[in-house]
Amino acid sequence: MDLLTWLAQVLPEPHTVELEPYQGSSGRGDVYGDPVTVTCFVDQKRRLVRAPNGSQVVSSTTVFAPLDTSCPPRSRVTLPDGHTALVIGTAQRRAAGVAEAAEHLEITLE
């Protein structure tokens, strides 16, 4: 069972976000890839997390997406309410064959 099927059983309805993968910076600013629509679960809760540079920052939102979602740090995510936030970091959550439905990519947003 995949993440979306599992979420459908546990949650009333999955969310949809638009993800623009960070590709680097240029003389004109940050460069993003084409937007991708991702079906996921959005948890809007403030918590303290570590940024890739080791500093502690406050995350306002966590997105639980399919494990194969490509989402490098600094990617731009547009949430269901229209708010846009940058990715602080990601964590792969693997089930090790125990409950594949629970496998997902945890995306922390500024």
Extents of the domains making up the chain: 3-109
Fold of 3-109: Thrombin, subunit H (2.40.10)
User: Which pLDDT value is given to residue 37?
Assistant: 97
| Per-residue pLDDT tens listing for the chain (110 residues) | 666 677 667 665 789 999 999 999 999 999 999 999 999 989 999 999 888 888 899 999 999 999 999 999 999 999 999 999 999 999 888 877 665 657 889 999 99
**φ/ψ of residue 8, rounded to 5:** -60, -30
pTM of the entire structure?
A: 0.81
Are 19 and 71 in contact by the 8 Å Cβ rule? The answer is: yes
Look up residue 91 and give its two tokens.
Answer: 């964590």
Contacts of 5 (CB under 8 A, 6+ apart): 101
Query: What's the Rg (C-alpha) of the chain?
Result: 14
